[in-house]
Amino acid sequence: MIYSVRGTLIHRETNLAVVECGGVGYQCNITLNTARQLPQIGSEAMLFTILNVREDAAELFGFADNNELTCFKLLTGVNGVGPKAGLSILSELSPERVALAIAGGDYKALTRAQGVGPKLAQRIVLELKDKVGIPSATGGTVLDSGAPIGAANASGNAAEAASALTMLGFSAGEASAAVAKLDSALPVEELVRQALRTLGRR
């Protein structure tokens, strides 16, 4: 497994980047979010990667940070979500926004991605929401998180933010502790952003 590539960025397009490492150019399929974070041609670049092997091809996918890679793995683990759909979703939404959409049951947010219809979006929310769970800021469990994002009260915002963080790879304890230090009256997305700064991106 190729965990990451670091080297000189020698080519870039909207949906791919080529990073030369030790004389070998690695072509990585990328999201629009990652493309926006790439440096200029000739500069050093680092991408977290995952290799997808099929009978007829082997493709390398690259991501600007580990949160995006983790989210991609979760998405493509859902039946019917291939790498193309995973890239499409993460090109339209940040990993944090995907996590919030799933935690809040907001499947319509996922349909903004090209090629993702309502049925597939609902399946993503259903399968991943069950895996994530909704931890509260005090370590308990919130039984219902189906309200649209922004409709929850302050404690509900904290719970949704903690849930989104667990989806991004942090433990429930880490997520709850980070969110508990913040003002729970803040919007969910702001809570996630501030908690990520505290926890440090992986």
The DSSP symbol for 30 reads -
**pLDDT for the residue 145:** 36
**pLDDT for the residue 105:** 85
Strand partners for 17 = 12, 28
Mean pLDDT in order along the chain per 10 residues (202 residues):
92 94 95 94 96 87 92 92 94 88 88 93 88 42 35 62 81 82 83 84 48
Instruction: For 144-201, give the DSSP string.
Output: ---SPTT-S-HHHHHHHHHHHHHHTT--HHHHHHHHHTS-TTS-HHHHHHHHHHHH--
**pLDDT for the residue 154:** 52
CA–CA–CA angle 79, 80, 86 (5° rounding): 100
Q: What is the spatial distance between Cα 196 and Cα 177, in angstroms, rounded to a whole number?
A: 12
**pLDDT for the residue 21:** 94
Within 13 Å of residue 154, how many CA atoms lie on the same side as its CB? 6
**pLDDT for the residue 155:** 61
**pLDDT for the residue 132:** 52
Sequence-ordered alpha helix ranges (H) in 38-153: 66-76, 83-92, 95-103, 107-110, 118-132
Domains of the chain: 4-63 (2.40.50.140), 67-131 (1.10.150.20)
Q: What is the spatial distance between Cα 51 and Cα 73, in angstroms, rounded to a whole number?
A: 11
Return the SS3 of 52. Answer: strand
**pLDDT for the residue 184:** 78
Q: What is the spatial distance between Cα 68 and Cα 89, in angstroms, rounded to a whole number?
A: 11
**pLDDT for the residue 147:** 37
